Copies of this chain bind each other. A is one copy, B any other.
Amino acid sequence: MTVTLAIDCMGGDHGPTVTVPAALDFLRHDPDCSMILVGLRDQLLPLLGKAEAEFGPRLTIRHASEQVAMDEPIATALRNKKDSSMRVAIELVKSNVAQAALSAGNTGALMAISHFVLKTLPGIDRPAIASVVPTLHGHTYVLDLGANVDCQPEHLLQFGIMGSMLIAALESKERPKVGLLNIGQEEIKGNEVVKRAGELLKTSGLNFFGNVEGDDLYKGTVDLVVCDGFVGNVTLKASEGVARMMSAALREEFNRNWRTRLTALLTLPVLNAFKHRFDPRRFNGASLLGLKGIVVKSHGSADALAFFHALEQAALAARNKLPERIAARMAVSSASV
């Protein structure tokens, strides 16, 4: 199926120097995909010229005169920058010119503008952000990752539905296993919101596994872990912190003296294979879920390879009609209430 992606080329720490090459790579990789590069024409053209890119139906530029800064307050981005590359990309999805928008820009602004422009699907109170974390031999989806910090049980149920549909769309897994993040596997554990969310998930018709604990995220116990955005955000950042600390300690030990530095050389293939397994670039791309349209957030520091992975995800979500799936599942859910 042919899909068109609208790319906010100005977002992220590296802007068009990363987004443009990644987009061109992806065009070569996926012959049924078209791209609209959104941003300052004067900055995009030289990069495209250098890459000898050919304009045509598959590759167009849409000039946008403004850009949202990485540290820009959400309110300013939303109200004062009507012609930002971020907003224009999202509006291309709204008007159905593109089937998905991508940005490596400011997460808060992206969420606010997406919410304002696209609106939520019927039955969805709040959009959420979903991403994946690695396991030993696979990965686990998690949501919410920070968009919703004060959740009611109904929101956690909606996260379960949206996440299940995301996995169905991206991995062709029709009944992904859903776990509820809690502090113990017994049903009596947890705070009041989580306890009631467990009851809702149990009768939701989803493939609900039950409660899972923090370490289950990295064990692959379930396909999807549902939690409120506060817990999700803190947990993921702590996990990144542990991974970075362990990597730094390993580097320190290998750098201790000439003997250990020599063993590091000998161990290089092993260390590289290890590094590759948890390379965050392979897991780049967080989906904004619950909107009337597809928006994918790339990490701000993404390089071209990482941005490519986010593009891949956006195209897959568009081809598998993610918003329609969520809307259909929500309709079933509301009908059964």
Contacts and interface: CB of A to CB of B under 8 A. Distances in A.
A123 interface: no
A217 B231 contact: no
A239 interface: yes
Contact of A191 (B150, B191, B250, B252): B150
B266 A253 contact: no
Interface residues of A, number: 58
Interface in A146-186: 146, 149-150, 181-183
A237 B250 contact: no
Contacts of A218: 238, 241-242, 244-245
Nearest to A246: B246
A263 B266 contact: yes
Interface in A266-287: 266-267, 269-271, 273-274, 277-278
A242 B233 CA distance: 15
A97 interface: no
B239 A238 contact: yes
Contacts of A149: 183, 189-191
- Copies per assembly: 2
A209 interface: no
A278 B246 contact: yes
Interface in A188-210: 189-192, 194
19 contacts: A136-B245, A136-B248, A146-B183, A183-B233, A191-B230, A214-B233, A214-B235, A214-B236, A214-B237, A214-B239, A215-B244, A217-B238, A219-B245, A230-B231, A231-B231, A239-B241, A249-B278, A263-B266, A267-B267
Give 3 closest A-B pairs by Cβ, nearest first.
Answer: A214-B237, A215-B241, A214-B238
Given A213-B237, A249-B277, 20 more contacts: A146-B183, A191-B230, A214-B237, A214-B240, A215-B237, A215-B240, A215-B241, A219-B241, A234-B234, A235-B238, A238-B238, A239-B242, A242-B243, A242-B246, A246-B246, A249-B274, A249-B278, A254-B270, A263-B266, A267-B267
Interface of A: 134-136, 146, 149-150, 181-183, 189-192, 194, 213-219, 227, 229-231, 233-246, 248-250, 252-254, 256, 260, 263-264, 266-267, 269-271, 273-274, 277-278
